[in-house]
């Protein structure tokens, strides 16, 4: 019998490793099922993002390559997602349809083994979670180029839901079309935020082509399926799902274009040691009111990472302030500041404490 060539020998080694991986993955899954049984008996949460983050950080510290940390994170995200589905299938609502950037953020956080539910509006995502049709929701909150998604902030004012996590997604826009060239295009569709993030490309390359706003980047891709004269600004995933070729790649103005999304839930997240807290404040109408509020945080050396003002929509010239800070509600410093803040403001609403998104997982 002739000896195997080097390529066949290497493939045999890969097959042997794959068989070991399969056995180990199923061993891991059986242990996860045992964990699920104990959680059910104790009434504990099945989905604990803090525990997930511990796994990722530990593996990244052990990782010696050649796989990158990002690749390791992606592989174990799917392993953890499939494992969670063995404990209890998670239902996650997101701003749809499929192939929106919110869908991508949902996949980044929860993996592909959850029961995902595309919803056609941000308010609809909140409603799905409030009414128990979904365990969690994913909604956009701000973009590094275009700023805050005001509609999301406004809904939080009256919603009982809490922020359970945050997701940072690097956003890359492509021009999708069945047209043979840019010169053949008669119209471009996309979501308002995507259009705004690609202004330079559009003004430079397609100054005379009408650009029309639609409800989502994914819906824009759908419009290209039947008409070769139109294009969509959308994601690579939209190109694959709706089978629309990419006519021009990476057309966003800012190559460091990041969108932040929030995971919403009925529950509060337990402390992890690396947390962020979000609140809504309405200050009293008196001189120095805002200064007095901010001074409380300064005195306790609480790091405020964001302050965003919005009209209250209930009274003329009345404003709400959305404030993010580093730390958890159960931290002594933050708890003390919020207690001191209550008599100083007309409204204080706590939106939740949740794990800080890691830079490497954006």
Q: What are the residues whose beta carbons fall under 8 Å from the beta carbon of 71, sequence distance 6 or more?
A: none
Q: Are 246 and 174 in contact (CB under 8 A)?
A: yes
Q: Which of 101, 110, 156, 261 is catalytic?
A: 261
Integer Cα distance of 167 and 58 in angstroms: 20
Phi then psi for residue 39, to 5 deg, are -60, -40
Q: Which of 100, 152, 217, 259 is catalytic?
A: 259
> DSSP labels for 117-152?
EEESSHHHHHHHHHTTS-SEEEEEEEETTTEE-HHH
Q: Are 352 and 323 in contact (CB under 8 A)?
A: no
Q: Are 166 and 261 in contact (CB under 8 A)?
A: yes
Task: Mark whether 259 is an active-site residue.
Answer: yes
Residue 53 Ramachandran class (φ > 0 left, ψ -120 to 50 alpha, else beta): alpha
Please report where in the chains the tokens 């800080």 appear, as a residue.
356
Task: Mark whether 152 is an active-site residue.
Answer: no
Q: Report which of 306, 307, 312, 313 is spatially closest to residue 290, judged by C-alpha positions.
A: 307
Q: Crossing angle, helix 150-158 and helix 122-130, to 10 degrees?
A: 30
Q: What are the residues whose beta carbons fall under 8 Å from the beta carbon of 100, sequence distance 6 or more?
A: 94, 118, 216, 217, 218, 235, 238
* Exposure on the CB side of residue 12, measured as CA atoms within 13 A: 6
Integer Cα distance of 188 and 171 in angstroms: 19
Catalytic residues: 259, 261
């Amino acid at each position: 019998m002739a000896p195997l060539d080097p390529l066949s020998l290497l493939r045999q080694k890969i097959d042997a490793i794959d068989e070991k991986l399969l056995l180990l993955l199923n061993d891991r899954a059986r242990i996860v099922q045992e964990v699920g049984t104990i959680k059910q008996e104790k009434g504990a949460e099945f989905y604990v993002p803090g525990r997930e983050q511990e796994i990722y950080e530990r593996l990244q510290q052990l990782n010696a390559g050649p796989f990158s940390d990002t690749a390791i994170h992606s592989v174990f995200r799917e392993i953890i997602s499939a494992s969670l589905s063995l404990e209890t299938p998670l239902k996650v609502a997101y701003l749809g349809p499929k192939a929106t950037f919110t869908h991508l953020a949902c996949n980044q956080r929860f993996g592909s083994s959850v029961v995902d539910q595309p919803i056609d509006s941000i308010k609809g995502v909140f409603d799905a979670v409030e009414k128990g049709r979904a365990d969690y929701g994913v909604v956009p909150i701000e973009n590094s180029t275009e700023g805050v998604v005001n509609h999301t902030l406004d809904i939080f004012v009256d919603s009982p839901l809490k922020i359970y996590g945050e997701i940072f997604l690097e956003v890359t826009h492509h021009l999708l079309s069945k047209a043979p060239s840019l010169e053949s295009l008669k119209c471009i569709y996309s979501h308002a935020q995507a259009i705004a993030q690609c202004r330079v490309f559009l003004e430079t390359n397609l100054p005379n082509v009408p650009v029309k706003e639609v409800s989502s980047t994914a819906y824009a891709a759908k419009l290209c399926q039947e008409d070769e004269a139109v294009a969509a600004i959308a994601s690579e995933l939209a190109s694959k799902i709706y089978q629309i070729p990419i006519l021009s790649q990476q057309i966003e103005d800012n190559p460091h274009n990041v969108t932040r999304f929030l995971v919403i839930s009925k529950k509060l997240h337990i402390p992890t040691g690396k947390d962020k807290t979000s609140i809504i404040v309405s200050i009293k109408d008196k001189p120095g009111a805002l200064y007095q509020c901010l001074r409380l945080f300064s005195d306790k050396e609480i790091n405020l990472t964001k302050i965003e003002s919005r009209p209250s929509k209930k009274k003329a010239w009345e404003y709400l302030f959305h404030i993010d800070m580093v730390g958890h509600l159960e931290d002594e410093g933050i708890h003390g500041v919020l207690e001191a803040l209550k008599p100083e403001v007309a409204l204080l609403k706590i939106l939740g404490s949740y794990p800080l998104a890691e830079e490497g997982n954006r």
